[in-house]
Amino acid sequence: MKILFIGPKKSLNKGYSNSYLQFKTLKKLYREVDSIDSSKILFLPSLTGKIFIHISPYILEYFINFYILSRVKKEYDLIWIKGGDFIGKKLILELKKKTKKIVFICNDNPFVKRDKKRWKLFLPAAKYYDCIAFQDKSRLSPSKKWGVRKSLLVLPPYDLNIHKKQKISKKEKIKYQNDIIFVGTWSPKKGEFIRKLIELGLNVNIYGGLWDKDPYYKILKSKIKLGHVFNPHYSKLIQNSKIALCLFAEGNLDTITARSIEIPAIGTLLCSLRTKSMKNVFIENKEAIFFSSPRECVEKCHYYLNNENEAKKISRAGHIKITKILKPNHENLIKKVIDYVF
């Protein structure tokens, strides 16, 4: 099978993005995989992002289309899109002339207003995909309003080589040691929730970007390690923590996220906001623990910190659920999507 991957392909300065890991898995499974690195389409990617969100992506459409089409030199069986906000109607119609099938793996929510104008190019193009794989059920209904006829609901994937127990040095063990951890980008509601946890006496450490925007940053500062954490450092951080919290981006209407799968895949006890999607994946108090309020979260965390054998039993069961039963890794995601469209 001849495949063209279009998406942000490069490894990041301090690790690997999930898009890069997906590309590497495609290369592992199929011999003929070409790629176009979307992160190189335009200079100054931070400026490009601001134009997409605040002004209009249509300003850049000509340059995007020229960059991609000038690099499509042959015909393919499948074009695999990761990060499709830059692909508009004109471009997808041209790409369809070069392939039997075209799919988009969407881990975001193009149908909400959080990202302002970012998805304006994508939305008119959505109905032309042979499949869009969504990772959250909340995307399915609005996608139909934009004419999407073939959508596939998948679990967020984890990587077999990255999201597992890593070899860790004594120095790293000290560096990454935590009782309770939250890894994620700041948002107002996440900030408010974490602040309440700390006020209720929970010793939680925070790793992620934008936390200096929190109005209570000076109070929380001692608990925060600013900056995004990438693989494999992320996996080492999770595996060396007793409990890892999972909160969701309120502006994205998430009910499940990548960390929901990665944390138990690595083998750490998952403590997540209680949602229907999470309850569909994990048996509560047997494979993961859930909460609906800051107080319940604090009570659950304190209980399992003081009852380590019970905590280990749940974390082992959650690990087995993901790695042995459901197995939503990149390899199986790719096979599932390809089986669906062919």
Q: How confident is the model at residue 4 (pLDDT cuts 50, 70, 90)?
A: very high
Instruction: Give the structural domain span for 70.
Output: 2-153
**131 inside domain:** yes
**78 inside domain:** yes
Last residue of a domain, one of 103, 118, 153: 153
Mean pLDDT, the chain, integer: 92
Residue 146: its pLDDT value, please? 95
What gap in Å lies between CA 68 and CA 148, rounded to an integer? 23
CA angle 118, 208, 47 (to 5 degrees): 35
* Same domain, yes or no: 199 and 139: no
- The pTM (predicted TM-score) of the whole model is 0.93
What's the number of domains the chain is made of?
Answer: 2
Residues whose CB falls within 8 Å of the CB of residue 99, separated by 6 or more in sequence, listed in order: 4, 75, 76, 77, 78, 79
> Looking at residues 280-306, what average pLDDT do you find?
98
Residue 233: its pLDDT value, please? 86
pLDDT at residue 239 above 60?
yes
pLDDT at residue 272 above 70?
yes
* Same domain, yes or no: 148 and 221: no
pLDDT at residue 54 above 90?
no
* Same domain, yes or no: 135 and 196: no
> Looking at residues 215-238, what average pLDDT do you find?
87
Mean pLDDT lowest among 173-177, 230-234, 296-300:
230-234
* Same domain, yes or no: 28 and 86: yes
Paired tokens of 91: 């471009």
Tell me the pairing of strands 151-153 and 224-226: unpaired
**245 inside domain:** yes
